[in-house]
């Protein structure tokens, strides 16, 4: 096994909330012996849900996001914390869209932002949707939309659907979406 190019000398967490913490690590570069400081966000694993209706439409959210000071189109999803991933995906889908999945299948996972965060996002495909109960958190200001796969592809091409996690999740779900939405 190849040794990492750095050695951790110490670390601390100068900032934390219930959703994340910022860690600051003092590292030594193996090649030069020089010490450096590396800061990053430690976030819980997350889920992203690509939900397809019986009419072959994909559920997307239009949600206000304070950091970008505007509305963005996204997929349902959120932090999973310590609950089982399948349950977290079902929970996020129902809370945000008011739909429950009769079938939920994990398609893959990805590192959200490897240079800045430890978060791993797990992508699920939800089908056989049925009514549930939407329960938005006080910080969620969103509307649910149904679009076809070609409409969603146009939104991406036009820069209207530009959420990075959503784009990565759609990339993973692409083969399944092409099969389901024919």
Active site residues: 138
The whole-angstrom separation of Cα 16 and Cα 136 is: 24
Q: Which residue has the tokens 């951790």?
A: 8
The whole-angstrom separation of Cα 169 and Cα 109 is: 8
The whole-angstrom separation of Cα 15 and Cα 36 is: 19
- Give yes or no for a contact between 13 and 27, defined as CB atoms under 8 angstroms apart: no
DSSP 52: B
Strand segments (E) across 6-98: 6-16, 20-29, 35-43, 46-51, 58-65, 70-74, 77-79
Which tokens belong to 138?
């006080």
Residue 50's region, left for phi above 0, alpha for psi from -120 to 50, else beta, is beta
């Amino acid at each position: 096994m190849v040794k990492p190019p750095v050695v951790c000398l110490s670390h601390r967490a100068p900032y934390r909330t219930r959703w994340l913490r910022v860690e600051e690590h003092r590292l030594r570069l193996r090649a030069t012996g020089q010490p450096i400081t590396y800061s990053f966000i430690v976030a819980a694993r997350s889920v992203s849900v690509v939900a397809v209706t019986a009419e072959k439409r994909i559920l997307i959210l239009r949600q206000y996001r304070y950091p970008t000071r505007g509305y963005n189109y996204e997929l349902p999803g959120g932090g999973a914390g310590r609950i089982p991933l399948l349950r977290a995906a079902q929970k996020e889908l129902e809370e945000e869209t008011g739909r429950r999945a009769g079938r939920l299948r994990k398609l893959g996972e990805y590192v959200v932002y490897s240079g800045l965060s430890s978060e791993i996002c797990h992508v699920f495909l939800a089908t056989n949707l049925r009514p549930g109960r939407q329960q938005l958190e006080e910080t969620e200001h969103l509307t649910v939309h149904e679009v076809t796969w070609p409409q969603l592809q146009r939104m991406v091409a036009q820069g209207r659907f530009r959420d990075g996690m959503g784009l990565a999740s759609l990339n993973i779900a692409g083969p399944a979406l092409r099969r389901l939405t024919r």
